[in-house]
Structure 1
Amino acid sequence: MAREIEIFLSLTLIFSTIWACKDGQVDQLTARQGLDGFLNANSYPTNSWMFPYYYNIQPQSPFAGYANSYEGRIPFNRKPPGYFANINADYYNSQEGRLGFGWWKPVRHPVAKPECVQQCRPVPQFLDGQAVPVLRAESAASMFQNSNILSPIDVVNACGNNATRNNTYWQSPSTSVSSPCSLTVHLDNKLAQQASPICQIRLDFVSFTTAPPTAGTCTDSSFTVEGATTVAPTICGVNSGQHMYLDVPSSATTPTDVKLIFKFATGTATPSWNIKIAMLPCGATYLAPADCLQYFTSATGKVKSFNWQDAAGALQLNNQNYNICFRTELVAGARATQMCVKPCTVTLGNAFFLTGAGAGPLTGTAADTCSYDFLAIAGGFDPVTGAFFDRYCGSALNTASVCTKIRPFKMTFGTDASEPTAAVTAAPPAIPVSAIVDTANTGFCLDFQEK
């Protein structure tokens, strides 16, 4: 009898241990306690059944001055996890090394990053010359047949292809390219790869180098966007690190094809690009405001016109008419009340040079001297003298910095279709005011800071 009791107790211990190890409860206990402490300190609920991905929770108390959570600042309040998600995905791990018998072997499941909205499996592609796992929508069964770590990216390095997945990278082909070279971003809520209706696309120019403009016009090479509600300007030159937000009709009601097009003349330098394409769902808190081609979501940073470079000979582009918007951030626990900009520190280039031949700063008010190429800052003022100006042009800002208290913070950059090589006399209404000669205008680079 004692022998039977001993066997019974041994089996009970074994199965109790297996049950305790289920879903990694033993291994995750220490991490769980530490995370709960952090979440409690920051006013988050700690529902154990939601650990460790809090996609849909909200802070228990809104920030001061806000009815709801602050402008999508919390990265976990999205459904499904979207463009900016960067959270722990240990939930997707099944416990390894469980106790068992001779015929039982531990199973290792793939680690799916949180951006991976659908069940997926990796398919080798090439990114920067090396094989990487690529997101593919597949069945759950297919997902568990491969033990590689998944990466939520799809890579296209050819012309004439379609993109239907979030976080697609479009890279310039490694072989010779014929003009035009295009990629069609197909948005349709009926596609399995697009779980939520899409209302906006964000393009991140990870790298972007084409032939420079000629007198401000992209003649030898160009990048254009077709099919979006947003009218994006034609750009060329060097635009690595820049971005664009493109509004589109909701893909739930209107399937849309947005075409990205590179054109280049025969004999020009081979263009090179790597563009990340993010599909942003309708209603997401991180969408850019309407009619904002660029949108910055930090209290400090740099904002640059397209093709601005800290290099000699870089030229500003013609026909650049777009809004640059800034999210109102929390500064010292309260909403920022003003934003100030000042020229970037440069070594070879010019941080602000929009019109003229280097004669000095110009500002425009009612008697507008910045009619053709200008940077407009509504409510802009000199923080030292208090003088107000709405438009800025010339070869420098008229002061060390320009501030505005008008929220939401926004700037408008406008250039006309040419860089005059001779003075232009006013002839209203076609030419409302005289224009001066433009010589090697470079655009702008400004440091911004919300206060």
Structure 2
Amino acid sequence: MSKLYLIISVALMVAQVSRACEEGNEEEQLAAARYQSEEYFANAFGYDPSSWNALYYPKTAQVPVYDGPYEGRTVSSSLQSRANPHKKYYGSIGTYVDESANQPEGRFALGGLGASIINTGLFNNRFSPANTWRPFANLANRIPVSYNPNFDNPLDTFDACTSPSGDAGICVPGSVCSLFRGRPSGSCVLGKVCCVNTVTACGGTVTLNNTYWQSPTTPVSASSTCALTIKLDTKYVEQLKKPICQIRLDFVSFTTAQPTLGTCVDTFQVGGSSSTVPIICGDNSGQHMYLDVPSSALTPTDVQLIFSFGTGTTTRSWNIKIALLPCGASYLAPTDCLQYYTASTGKVKSFNWQDTTSNAIRQLNNQNYNICFRTELISGQRATQMCLSICSVTNAGDPFSITTPVAVVVGSANAAAIGAAVSPNSNVGTTVSNTAGNTLVATCLYDFLLIAGARDANGIEADRFCGNQLNPAVGTALLPGATTSVQVCTPVRPFRMTYRTDGTEATITTLNVPTVPAFAGADTANTGFCLDYQEQ
């Protein structure tokens, strides 16, 4: 059959060439052929090669000028080319009709490529415009081809990349990078550039993957707000390939005012996410967050990142990398995991923990989130346990300080004196009992780190840890816990921890059951935690 098609096509081409020569209009025929070639190339791929050099966009009108900085707020229906690339081919062909305006978006990969090869490269240039009979025009489209959105085709655009300087970006043609006001840094396949996108304004909007939100170049004034909106919607061409189900925030740098008695004066908070995201402040460079959102293919979502600054002259600066993670990706964090670690060893810290000699309270109030760890392969097999130990410090910082344990338990009549004497010991469990006054005094009830199934080398097990040491040793009512930290390991999978703090660092002298079921002493310069983890 293929031989028959070849014989027919050769005969038709010979006949057309002969007729063109007989009519004496060779120049017009060549112009028509070039016009048809460009037109069908654009139709087959759904884009204008001279203005986009990408394989995903129909020809549209020029992008309108925005009053503010343009930051990727591009809807697929608003991207338009700036000039008609076929103007030089008009001549005696007649009025140009933009047939690609009716082409659906995303006519892509094998279907479009096959149509281009068969229609443009082999046959269409051999027929004059007057002859509309094209026997092979729809041959490629009759081949059933489906496009898998999870297939990483090198022809796709907006794929992630890393620049030579280490910044994350997206692979796009140079003209598209300029359109989104990005910075080309490095190269990708097929002549694309690694485009690094940065937003430096308050009130901006982001729709592009791997965008950096940096603090404005002018100092941020006190008693002000700086916010950014992340728009998730598959109507944007930059999100057309895959719906988004998660956002990852990487705090490349993050410096705001320190909390007062654990309560943030400057605040960073997230709105629009289905995750439970605590308010944070202080020093958080190197930290990260995963934000769950509904699939953008089903529910368009706006997620807000909001800084609110109190009084004071503290330097505020940040650089936050925003990654948009597609639904179904293997690297998504489990549901309800604010942090997710994907290496067999590493370091995990509470927000605002620093290796510093300062005696200020760095532990943040009202923290309640899960920290999850992917089960890695160890010597070709899945890890069977995860072990945790306190970080080594060089600046005399405190790597574990969650709730200062009381050294002396007092009766209910002297509840205001609870915490007058404190201990540098560890603490586990929830409460201890004073046999004299029969008064419950909280230990790890309000502020704690929960590690299910954790035990030391001697098999002593606990799940709630607090105090000034990481140790499952059980103490007494007068002297809780131990004075040293040890390594604890848990076999419970999936590996995870839960960190929780209440809304105060002060003494609790008034009960309100069930939310405040026991007295508690005042916390003294709690810092949170820094732990080294290792899967085994």
2:480 matches 1:396: no
2:170 corresponds in structure 1 to 116
Query: What SS does structure 2 have at the residue aligned with 1:133?
Result: strand
Query: What SS does structure 2 have at the residue aligned with 1:380?
Result: strand
Residues 41-75 of structure 1: per-residue CA shift (max 9 Å, x gap): xxxxxxxxxxxxxxxxxxxxxxxxxxxxxxxxxxx
Unaligned runs of 5+ in 1: 1-76, 90-112
1:331 corresponds in structure 2 to 378
2:523 and 2:168 map into 1 onto residues whose CA distance is 50
- The alpha-carbon deviation at position 132 of structure 1 amounts to 3.9
> Which amino acid is 1:226 matched to?
G
2:502 matches 1:416: yes
- The alpha-carbon deviation at position 80 of structure 1 amounts to 6.8
2:216 and 2:283 map into 1 onto residues whose CA distance is 18
2:314 matches 1:269: yes
Residues 347-382 of structure 1: per-residue CA shift (max 9 Å, x gap): 221000011155310011687731110000011111
RMSD: 3.0
Q: Closer, same or farther in 2 for the Cα pair 1:114/1:279, shift >3 Å?
A: closer
2:423 and 2:254 map into 1 onto residues whose CA distance is 28
- The alpha-carbon deviation at position 88 of structure 1 amounts to 12
Q: Between the two proteins, what is the percent identity of the paired residues? A: 57
1:63 corresponds in structure 2 to none
Is the 8 Å Cα contact of residues 384 and 491 (structure 2) preserved in structure 1?
yes
1:203 corresponds in structure 2 to 249
Q: Closer, same or farther in 2 for the Cα pair 1:159/1:213, shift >3 Å?
A: same
1:438 and 1:274 map into 2 onto residues whose CA distance is 32
1:235 corresponds in structure 2 to 280
- The alpha-carbon deviation at position 114 of structure 1 amounts to 11
**Which is further off, 114-123 or 230-239?**
114-123
> Which amino acid is 1:215 matched to?
L
1:371 and 1:402 map into 2 onto residues whose CA distance is 20
1:292 corresponds in structure 2 to 337
Q: Which residue, out of 347, 350, 354, partners 1:302?
A: 347
Residues 192-235 of structure 1: per-residue CA shift (max 9 Å, x gap): 1112100000000000000000000002x110000011121100
Q: Closer, same or farther in 2 for the Cα pair 1:87/1:351, shift >3 Å?
A: closer
2:429 matches 1:364: yes
2:193 matches 1:150: yes
- The alpha-carbon deviation at position 151 of structure 1 amounts to 2.4
- The alpha-carbon deviation at position 153 of structure 1 amounts to 2.2
2:52 corresponds in structure 1 to none
Q: Closer, same or farther in 2 for the Cα pair 1:205/1:114, shift >3 Å?
A: closer
Q: Alignment length, in residue pairs?
A: 335
2:468 and 2:307 map into 1 onto residues whose CA distance is 31
2:374 matches 1:343: no
Unaligned runs of 5+ in 2: 1-149, 405-421, 433-441, 472-484
- The alpha-carbon deviation at position 440 of structure 1 amounts to 0.6
2:401 corresponds in structure 1 to 353
> Which amino acid is 2:465 matched to?
Y
Is the 8 Å Cα contact of residues 213 and 236 (structure 1) preserved in structure 2?
yes
> Which amino acid is 1:273 matched to?
W
2:226 matches 1:175: no
> Which amino acid is 1:324 matched to?
I
Q: Which residue, out of 517, 523, 530, partners 1:438?
A: 523
- The alpha-carbon deviation at position 86 of structure 1 amounts to 6.1
Is the 8 Å Cα contact of residues 270 and 277 (structure 2) preserved in structure 1?
yes
> Which amino acid is 1:217 matched to?
T
2:502 and 2:373 map into 1 onto residues whose CA distance is 24
Is the 8 Å Cα contact of residues 152 and 167 (structure 1) preserved in structure 2?
no
Is the 8 Å Cα contact of residues 403 and 523 (structure 2) preserved in structure 1?
yes
1:406 corresponds in structure 2 to 492
> Which amino acid is 2:518 matched to?
V
2:527 matches 1:449: no
Q: Which residue, out of 363, 386, 400, partners 1:316?
A: 363
Is the 8 Å Cα contact of residues 78 and 284 (structure 1) preserved in structure 2?
no
> Which amino acid is 1:360 matched to?
N
Query: What SS does structure 2 have at the residue aligned with 1:152?
Result: strand
> Which amino acid is 1:338 matched to?
Q
1:336 and 1:83 map into 2 onto residues whose CA distance is 35
- The alpha-carbon deviation at position 133 of structure 1 amounts to 2.2
Q: Closer, same or farther in 2 for the Cα pair 1:80/1:152, shift >3 Å?
A: farther
Is the 8 Å Cα contact of residues 124 and 133 (structure 1) preserved in structure 2?
no
Highest CA radius of gyration, 1 or 2?
2
* Moved beyond 2 Å, runs of 4+: 77-89, 113-126, 131-135, 149-153, 365-369, 422-430
